[in-house]
Amino acid sequence: MKNLFRLFSVIFSLFAIVSCGGEESSVSDGTDSAEQNVDVSIRAITPEFAEQIGAIYFSITDRYGNEIFHQSIRKEDLTNQTELKGIKDVTNATLSVSVFARDSEGNNEQSPRWMGKVRGLNFEKGTTTEVDVMLYSSDVSNVESTMTQSLSTPRFGHTATLLADGRVLIAGGFTSCGSNGKCQTTDSVEIIDVESGEIQPLTNMTESRAMHTAVALEDGSVIFIGGVKGLNSYLQTADEIFDNFPALPYSFSQSSAITTIEHYMPPYPKSNMVKNNLGVPVSNIARTLTTPSPIPFATFQSVLAEKISSSETVVFLVGGLDSEGKPSGKSYKFSLILNDSGEVSVSNVTELSESSEPMLLPALAAKKDSSGQILGVLALGGRPNDSEYSASFISESGSEDKGKDAGYNLLFTNHIALNNALYVFSGLKNEEGSTKEVNKIFKWNLDDDSLTVSKDLIQPGDKAITFAEVVYDEKNGRFIAIGGTNASDYYQAVNASTLEWYQKSPSHKMSDSRIMSKAVIIPVEKSSTENPLIFITGGINSLDGTGSGSANGKVKVNNL
């Protein structure tokens, strides 16, 4: 008998998605062992799905992208036992589900309104393949959709790491801030399976941490570096202000620094492969790495992790508070090395040349030569009140001040290093012993040390934005800034080459406020649609030191 693709009770299940508040629909099992049975469960990310559906198109491609099966079923033809015949035996296949909506005249639209993909499947006669598919809107819109599941632990100041298989690892962060302005960290970890729409709690980290750095390694594991145990979300008192620095609106205690490095292995494989006994199982493991000597982590210190090969990542630590709680100009570097057996070792720490001035939370970018060799690190901003300079280039051989009289000595910036340039987004300007709001984008070209400053672009007007999330949308050549203080509900797109508004996708207000959120862009080759998808996780709606803010657990998705 030919292989069959069996779809049971789908039309009723699709309607149940909305009536059950977006819960997963269920499809009955097939039982004939002589046939090829594929049981499909569908989650829709938009409530209009069941009302607007016109037809569902199924397509299966082999590992080379060749289509080996396809069939379209109209909504009215979906019955209690719909069969799609003719699936060939295939391994490492991709199942694509495209849903077409009907227009006002009752005709199916030419392009799919919702799409979902599941990769790494096997279809074999005599077996049942179970598939959970999350359908995402294929429209580029100015309204983010909400995933049917939320994070089990609402959080902010966490990390969101894109894994090689397309899942997103969520780790640590703050869960709340009390009325005293002190924010508490968590050690919890969870994973978003983009294909199935499932969010699964995982093994906790070995230590609670927030504002840490995450590095995805080639073997699918992740390194968590440093971070802090807590955040004070109030203006520093007179006793807390650092010498020759202004009063800061957010701070950490000297003992708040996390001084460990953690190697974290998420469980593999992903959800649909687990259900079908595919792939080699990998256990979920968290362990603290042994270091040759203590790593000089500190609060108010900036961390830059730069991959130089598939097996080595160089980590720079710049500025922060010294052992006496005073601002420091010291910088360090060390390497993380992944060996063939999956073990990670930490090299000895090398102290770089000390900068002429101390720095607190400067923006960082690695400077490289034409062959990609790292020459040193540029640190921009975070300098004392009376500094003539805005930046320093720091290496083992020396430290050189840059940007004399540039006038932009920035604190609490959001920044991205890209194409041998350092882009800095808004922040607080340290000027004459006080912090002043600055609402511009700065581009420091590492090739010639030139600085380009944009017009006032970032909303809202003359208010500074700190703790925003900024990601680079490579496909469209734009930066996307999400939330932040004074712009907590803004989603803003800026042209990366001109530093002006990105006109084709206007900025807009989001449905909720997010400060210290994290966003991940799923590239086309891992996306469930024909475009990249952006996933926005966590955030807090207020960080004013009163404890009135609440952490966000909803996961928002938009098509880029």
Residue 227's nearest CA partner among 316, 158, 325 is: 158
Beta-bridged to residue 168, according to DSSP, are 162, 192
pLDDT confidence tier of residue 28, bands split at 50, 70 and 90: very low
Residue 536's nearest CA partner among 475, 503, 492 is: 492
Of residues 10 and 288, more confidently modeled: 288
Q: How many domains does the chain have?
A: 2
User: Which DSSP helix (H) or strand (E) runs through 40?
Assistant: strand 37-44
Query: How far apart (Å, rounded) are the C-alpha atoms in residues 307 and 376?
Result: 14
* Shared domain check, 113 and 239: no
* Shared domain check, 187 and 117: no
* Shared domain check, 191 and 126: no
* Shared domain check, 199 and 73: no
- pLDDT tens across 239-275, in order? 999 999 999 999 987 679 999 999 999 999 999 999 9
Asked if residue 193 has pLDDT above 50, the reply is yes
Of residues 345 and 101, more confidently modeled: 345
Rounded mean pLDDT of 489-509? Answer: 87
* Owning domain of residue 462: 145-559
For position 457, what pLDDT does the model report?
Answer: 78
For position 159, what pLDDT does the model report?
Answer: 98
CATH number at residue 513: 2.120.10.80
* Shared domain check, 446 and 483: yes
Query: How far apart (Å, rounded) are the C-alpha atoms in residues 391 and 405?
Result: 11
What's the CA angle centered on 324, arms 322 and 327, to 5 degrees? 45
pLDDT confidence tier of residue 8, bands split at 50, 70 and 90: very low
For position 429, what pLDDT does the model report?
Answer: 87
**How do 37-44 and 128-137 pair as beta strands?**
parallel
What does the block give as tokens for 472?
């680079």
Helix and strand element counts for the chain (H, E): 3, 41
- pLDDT tens across 422-464, in order? 999 988 888 777 888 888 899 999 999 999 999 887 776 667 7
For position 10, what pLDDT does the model report?
Answer: 46
* Shared domain check, 443 and 302: yes
* Shared domain check, 306 and 411: yes
* Shared domain check, 299 and 192: yes
Q: Using the 3D structure, point to which of 105, 137, 169 is the last residue of a domain.
A: 137
- pLDDT tens across 140-179, in order? 888 899 998 999 999 999 999 999 999 999 999 999 999 9
- pLDDT tens across 98-120, in order? 999 888 778 888 899 999 999 99
pLDDT confidence tier of residue 53, bands split at 50, 70 and 90: confident
Residue matched to tokens 């207020």: 542
Query: Which amino acid is located at 255 in the chain?
Result: S
For position 201, what pLDDT does the model report?
Answer: 98
Mean pLDDT across the chain: 88
Beta-bridged to residue 133, according to DSSP, are 42
Asked if residue 299 has pLDDT above 90, the reply is yes
For position 482, what pLDDT does the model report?
Answer: 94
Which DSSP state fits 108? B
The region, left, alpha or beta by phi > 0 then psi within -120 to 50, assigned to residue 386 is alpha
Range of weakest confidence among 2-11, 68-77, 488-497: 2-11
Helix, strand, coil shares, percent, the chain, to 5:
5, 45, 55
* Shared domain check, 278 and 211: yes
Q: Where are the alpha helices (DSSP H) in 283-427?
A: none
Asked if residue 34 has pLDDT above 70, the reply is no
CATH number at residue 65: 2.60.40
Rounded mean pLDDT of 377-393? Answer: 94
Residue 278's nearest CA partner among 127, 150, 383 is: 127
For position 150, what pLDDT does the model report?
Answer: 96
pLDDT confidence tier of residue 391, bands split at 50, 70 and 90: very high
pTM reported for the whole predicted model: 0.93
Of residues 430 and 292, more confidently modeled: 292
Q: Using the 3D structure, point to which of 104, 137, 170 is the last residue of a domain.
A: 137
Residue 149's nearest CA partner among 559, 554, 471 is: 554
For position 315, what pLDDT does the model report?
Answer: 98
* Shared domain check, 430 and 503: yes
* Shared domain check, 151 and 90: no
Query: How far apart (Å, rounded) are the C-alpha atoms in residues 222 and 329?
Result: 29
- 3-state class (DSSP) for residue 548: coil
Rounded mean pLDDT of 55-73? Answer: 92
For position 254, what pLDDT does the model report?
Answer: 63
Query: How far apart (Å, rounded) are the C-alpha atoms in residues 307 and 213?
Result: 13
* Shared domain check, 437 and 385: yes
